Amino acid sequence: MTYLMAIDSGNTRIKWGLHDGLAWFKQGVVLHDNRASLHQAWQDLPKPMHIIIANVAGAEAQVMLSELISCWKLQPEWMTATAYQCGVRNYYANPTLLGCDRWAGMIAAWKIQQQGCLVVNTGTAMTVDALSDTGEFLGGIIMPGLNLMQQTLTTHTALLKQEKGNFSDYPDNTADAIHSGAMQALVGAVERMATLLSATLGHVPSCIISGGASYSLHSQLNISAEIVDDLVLQGLVLIAMDNQKISTPTSINS
């Protein structure tokens, strides 16, 4: 059996999956500071024939991942965005400067939808990217994610404390007010982008969401949305197969 290792190294977490070309053999997720857990999980895996990595966590994370995968004696493919791949055209001003995780997510979303849609990733930051009905990346926004928004507010405000809050339409305590305000900002941004894309496409787009706050965000949205937890990993598999000229499966979310 031939395996492909896909690694999504975000700012907070590392998601990974071992794929056999048709379905996931095994997947996992760890925090960046839990290197021991990652080493333990990977040492019991069969050796992959190819490794592709989307890393947005900087040079230190790249060094750490390089050390961990060195046991397989493979040179990994450090993925970067391109002007065109897998049916998606990248209209970023400089295509290579588009975040590699955003690019992989859009490629996976296009495989799923095959029409215009919003691609939302709710991690440390939240990105909301727009795809046209012909697979063109029109552009997107970046803003602080749920936790970062709350942390920034409490860090720079003397009388506010970092406390766990819950969403409420009309919060009656400070913790809920902070949490609800951050969530309303995220929801508002996604729904605003959906309105803009609807006008561009001439129809209401679907929305695909991934990332750590995806379930919280999804519960508050008033638009059609689907959660795909491993969206970036799915995109990495498609990119690796395209680069190696391997026929892609009809669905890789198995």
Divide the 254 residues of the chain into consecutive groups of 10 and give the mean pLDDT of each group. 94 94 94 85 91 95 93 94 97 95 98 97 96 98 94 79 87 93 97 98 96 94 96 97 72 58
Nearest CA-CA partner of 104 in 151, 53, 142: 53
Q: Using CB atoms within 10 A of its CB, is residue 254 exposed (0-12), middle (13-18) or buried (19+)? A: exposed
Are 4-80+234-243 and 94-230 equal in CATH topology?
Answer: yes
Per-residue pLDDT, 246: 62
Per-residue pLDDT, 24: 96
Residue count of the chain: 254
**How large is the C-alpha radius of gyration of the chain?**
19
Per-residue pLDDT, 172: 94
- Does this model's pTM top 0.85? My answer is yes
Tokens 């970092």 belong to: 162
CA distance 149 to 189: 13
- Strands 50-55 vs 77-78: parallel, antiparallel or unpaired: parallel
- Strands 125-131 vs 117-122: parallel, antiparallel or unpaired: antiparallel
Nearest CA-CA partner of 221 in 193, 252, 196: 193
**Cα 212 to the chain's mean position, in Å?**
9
Taking domain 4-80+234-243, whether its CATH number is 1.10.10.60 is answered by no
Which of the residues are catalytic? 101
> Could you tell me the two tokens for 27?
């997947």
Per-residue pLDDT, 247: 56
CA distance 207 to 143: 17
Per-residue pLDDT, 183: 96
The domain spans of the chain are 4-80+234-243, 94-230
> Could you tell me the two tokens for 164?
């766990």
CA distance 166 to 187: 15
Per-residue pLDDT, 156: 79
State whether residue 11 is helix, strand or coil. coil
Determine the topology of domain 94-230 in CATH: Nucleotidyltransferase; domain 5 (3.30.420)
CA distance 112 to 208: 9
> Could you tell me the two tokens for 137?
């990346």
Nearest CA-CA partner of 186 in 142, 151, 232, 225: 142
